[in-house]
């Protein structure tokens, strides 16, 4: 879409220059010179003055600084073409703005992040969740009944140390733990999707206990359905 706008702008500029040039209606006058060789050098002889024309014939010529009917018609056509190009450019810009608006409206919006001390390293058991946080989350979700609920689990980079369970599996179990809380508070199960990312999406360094605690988190997001008001 950007290439279309650039192309239309170039055409618009070229047409503007051409119309300006025609509007100037420059009159050129030619002076004829005859050069004769003689013993003293070159002689410059002015060309004879043009023969006077009958008034009727002179009236049919375009006077200096006055556009002919053909030039006026051509200028009108060029102005119409420029107007059409401007309208096309404006339409293209509106379409781009519309695409950006649609894309921004359909992006998931994070409403709550459960992190910190809620999950201990290597565990999916919820340690402490404030009732007010759950209540606020349920109210937020209920206010958008047509939205999908995305619950994404994350871990730090410490191995679980359990056979058959890695960080990817652990992050998924953490997401399901939060999903179960929402279901218990009346959120329909068919609106909820859970995903586990393991330790692939850290938000800070895992080199400290504080950093690892922040990376052990579950994010709850809302995804508006297309066409929903």
Give 106-160 pLDDT, tens digit per residue: 688 999 998 867 877 788 888 777 678 888 999 999 999 989 999 999 999 998 8
Mean pLDDT of the chain, nearest integer: 74
CB 143 within 8 A of CB 107: no
CA distance 9 to 76: 20
What pLDDT, on a 0 to 100 scale, did the predictor assign at position 100?
A: 46
Question: Residue 129 contacts by C-beta under 8 Å, 6 or more apart in sequence?
Answer: 114, 118, 181
Q: Is the pLDDT of residue 12 over 90?
A: no
Question: Residue 224 contacts by C-beta under 8 Å, 6 or more apart in sequence?
Answer: 105, 106, 144, 146, 147, 148
Residue whose C-alpha is closest to residue 142's, from 195, 102, 191, 105? 191
Q: What is the mean pLDDT of residues 59-85?
A: 67
Q: 9 vs 124, which has greater pLDDT? A: 124
pTM of the predicted protein model: 0.53
Q: In this structure, is the dihedral angle defined by the CA atoms of residues 181, 182, 188 and 190, taken in order, positive or negative?
A: negative
How much of the chain exceeds pLDDT 90, in percent? 34
Residue whose C-alpha is closest to residue 187's, from 227, 143, 218? 143
Phi, psi values for residue 158, rounded to 5°: -80, 125
CA distance 120 to 168: 15
Domain 109-223 has CATH 3.30.1330.60: yes
């Amino acid at each position: 879409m950007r290439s279309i706008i650039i192309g239309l702008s170039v055409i618009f500029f070229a047409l503007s220059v051409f119309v300006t040039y025609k509007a100037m209606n420059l009159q050129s006058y030619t002076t004829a010179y005859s050069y004769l060789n003689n013993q003293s050098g070159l002689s410059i002889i002015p060309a004879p003055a043009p023969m006077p024309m009958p008034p009727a014939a002179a009236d049919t010529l375009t006077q200096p600084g006055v556009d002919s009917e053909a030039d006026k018609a051509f200028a009108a056509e060029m102005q119409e073409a420029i107007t059409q190009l401007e309208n096309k450019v404006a339409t293209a810009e509106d379409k781009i703005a519309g695409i950006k608006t649609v894309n921004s409206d359909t992006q998931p919006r994070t409403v709550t992040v459960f992190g910190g001390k809620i999950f201990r390293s290597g565990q999916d058991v919820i340690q402490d969740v404030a009732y007010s946080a759950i209540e606020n989350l349920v109210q937020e979700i209920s206010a958008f009944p047509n939205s999908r609920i995305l619950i994404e689990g994350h871990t730090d980079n410490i191995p679980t140390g359990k056979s058959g369970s890695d960080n990817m599996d652990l992050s998924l179990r953490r997401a399901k733990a939060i999903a179960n809380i929402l279901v218990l508070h009346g959120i329909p199960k068919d609106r909820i999707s859970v995903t586990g990312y393991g330790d692939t999406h850290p938000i800070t360094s895992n080199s400290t206990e504080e950093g690892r605690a922040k990376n052990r988190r579950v994010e709850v997001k809302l995804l508006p359905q297309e066409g929903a008001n």
